[in-house]
Chain A
């Protein structure tokens, strides 16, 4: 699979896919998209990069073990639900911060944090499976 064309294109393709996955994640609340789909796109980006340039370089590029990424996603997903504590509301009641910069409406919210958690979980879990499978037996 490591043809020269594939190997040359793969980094750009991966970068674009990751960027696109973040775009899909962020627009998810209003347009088709969201953390789950974004996570799947990013996971396939990792898989492509792994097939083209080897698993070792993917692992170097993402710094953390993908399973830690997934664990962290679960953590902030749960954490997003606890913020309502400070406003005396039940667990996972969504909280919104909406402000305007240059006529654009920026909405920060706990569902967004939660969605980022979902994204990280999917990238981490699927990515770690794909990477583990791509890794040849190295005994």
Chain B
């Protein structure tokens, strides 16, 4: 069915969180942590907006809306609303509502709470833009925005080195994957000519038949695997637990890390079903599932245990998506929903325990049930869903996914099922440990006197975990409204669902048997959890190397290589740099002119007025003064005189803007060069050997001659006035401005200027950094070389 075009409300719904990000710091200044209440209205409204799509989408409809962004490149800001994106948008905004509340309670009294809200909202908007994105380029931009905002959130506590490292690591891994994704998207666009996702989904065979399937597949996979922390890129996710808990609960369980899974599910109809897809995805997904659960058991930190099971769950989802088989995909969709609910809730529980008891080390916690009864109930409900016990949505998901894996291909169904079985049993162990250990048993004294958290803290876990129960109790409705439309998007065909909370038959029900085995295995392993933990610890010590360490080695390698290269290429002497640059400039302008024999004709002596000659004379005198100046300061000022004279020439020959700018640039150059001089404590005189001076003199003369010849040659060409005619004609009528130069700068070619001011800001930052560096003696040389670059940038304008 072709998508229906709707009005722009959905586009504004995607942008609303960005507006909230602007308002959040102000509200937080007024209402302190209670700002969470009004702020949470924004995601709640977004949730309601997308909830309105559930009905039509479950009837098989889909919707698009678009606004043009850079239409000449086919780039639009467009959304595509179907089952999959509706489910994701509801998860993002719904869980987001409670995360905002939770952040209000968790960071109560934190001086930067407003900033934190701001980052969270920016992330929320990026994530919505990602899952709803229809245009591949805007999808990519939102994809990278999630990486950037997650960098800000992980590094929120930026005074700690561990936070900074984790933030940079996450940015390098996910941002790098994002670049691969961009390459993949560009290949898709050039191979198919389509830039909108809806158009691709409309003709599912178009990429598979394009001949570029393999590179596209690999590049998209690189993006999805890094984002969704698949082995061997899984290491950034546990490190990201350095972030405050609301971030972990939001980004690293329910939303951002699911972006990769989202992309794979979204592209399943167009990329899936091939031999490559059904080999690579289940393989890496399966490995990730096993690695994640095994590493999770080893941890004693509540958040790290949850983080590794998140890695495992993502592996499970990728594995199921990789089967390209309807029943397994149904399991994946159900598990996706279940996981977002229980993992979000459990993360918030872990944060509440940490917040109220002062530690989240599971061996130092115990007997909190009477102190924190509400949190305990929420933890139990969520853990039951995670363990896959009835009557929770996690159970329904597990049943369906066992059906799916068992029924998949004759031979490969078995190892897949076994992988899922071991993974789920270990997941059961973690669920039990997280929910039971801190609350049951003898009371252990904790660093803080534990008591129940405020409503802001327990609202989220309670609602999410109860939802896990509620959605399962109304299985049929859940299936019809949420699961079936999503499955339709993922599998590419609409399927009637037959979901049951309780198994309808017992004998020969493979999934039920597998569930029973899972639970049995889980119980046995849980009783042996300490032994298991030690055993895994021993094995890991024996291996001694992991991708996390590999990342450090990788970064150290890059740094080593570039400093080696820098030492080879950079002498650190500005004179050498200048000599090389100007030497090559001279060659570049002179050699082609002589080779092609296109030297300009000697011009006649122009008929200037006497004052024009006078100003030319001043310029020449300024130059001579530079050459004969005894001290450097005199030379600098003399150079300024020459510059002023040139500015006057500009003025007289009808370029007031240029003259104006030249005046200012000359003034500032003199001031800044003089300041650099005093700052660097250079000797006031120039002590160079005569030979050295001859070489620089020759190079300087060559450059001057070359540029002069080039200019003469250019002015002797017939003048092509098309552009200037265009600007003269339209500057007043279209752009409402009489100053053509300015109109070109800020309007006709405003985008160039945007790039240029970005360069100016960056150059300023670099110069500032170099001025502040004072450790090495050879650095000041580079400072002044950058200074010149800066001035040249200005002059280029």
Contact = CB atoms under 8 A, between A and B. Distances in A.
B478 interface: no
B679 A133 contact: yes
Interface in B475-497: none
Contact of B757 (A31, A34, A67, A118): A118
Given A90-B72, A109-B736, A129-B768, A32 B671 contact: no
A114 B750 contact: yes
A70 B774 CA distance: 24
Contact of B736 (A29, A40, A67, A128): A29
Contacts of B750: 81, 92, 94, 111, 114
A61 B672 CA distance: 21
A37 B768 CA distance: 22
Interface string B647-680: 0000000001100110011011001100110010
Contacts of A43: 668
Interface of B is mostly: helix
B757 A121 contact: yes
A44 to B, nearest CB: 6
B790 interface: yes
Contact of B739 (A34, A73, A74, A112): A34
B739 A31 contact: yes
B761 A121 contact: yes
B753 A118 contact: yes
B746 interface: yes
B613 interface: no
Given A33-B660, A85-B77, A128 B764 contact: yes
Interface string B250-290: 00000000000000000000000000000000000000000
A133 B738 contact: no
Contacts of B738: 29-31
A32 B767 CA distance: 30
B641 to A, nearest CB: 17
Contacts of B790: 126, 129
A73 B28 CA distance: 25
A44 B772 contact: no
A34 B745 contact: yes
Given A70-B764, A74-B758, A78-B754, A134 B675 contact: yes
Nearest to A87: B67
B735 interface: yes
B371 interface: no
Interface of A is mostly: helix
B764 A129 contact: yes
B785 to A, nearest CB: 14
Interface in B627-659: 656-657
B501 interface: no
Nearest to B758: A74
Contacts of B676: 133
A73 B757 contact: yes
Nearest to B676: A133
A103 B389 CA distance: 78
A112 B742 CA distance: 10
A49 interface: no
B70 A90 contact: yes
Contacts of A91: 69-70, 751
B747 interface: yes
Contacts of B672: 47, 129-130, 133
A28 B657 CA distance: 9
Contacts of A137: 774
Given A111-B747, A133-B672, A124 B757 contact: no
B71 interface: yes
Contact of A128 (B72, B671, B768): B768
A44 B666 CA distance: 11
B297 to A, nearest CB: 46
A39 B735 CA distance: 22
A23 B588 CA distance: 42
Given A36-B661, A125-B761, A126-B668, A132 B772 contact: yes
B621 interface: no
Interface string B665-706: 101100110011001000000000000000000000000000
A89 interface: yes
B717 to A, nearest CB: 28
Interface in B369-386: none
B746 to A, nearest CB: 4
Nearest to B681: A137
B671 A47 contact: yes
A122 interface: yes
A32 B742 CA distance: 8
A31 to B, nearest CB: 6
Nearest to A85: B67
B675 A130 contact: yes
11 contacts: A32-B660, A40-B664, A40-B665, A44-B667, A67-B761, A81-B751, A98-B736, A115-B742, A118-B745, A129-B764, A129-B790
The 6 nearest A-B residue pairs measured at CB:
A125-B764, A40-B664, A32-B656, A133-B675, A29-B737, A111-B746
Interface of A: 24, 28-37, 40-41, 43-44, 47, 67, 70-71, 73-74, 77-78, 81, 85, 88-92, 94, 96, 98, 107, 109, 111-112, 114-115, 117-118, 121-122, 124-126, 128-130, 132-134, 137, 139
Given A31-B739, A114-B753, A129-B767, 14 more contacts: A29-B742, A32-B660, A32-B739, A34-B741, A40-B665, A44-B667, A47-B671, A67-B764, A67-B768, A70-B764, A74-B761, A114-B750, A115-B742, A126-B668
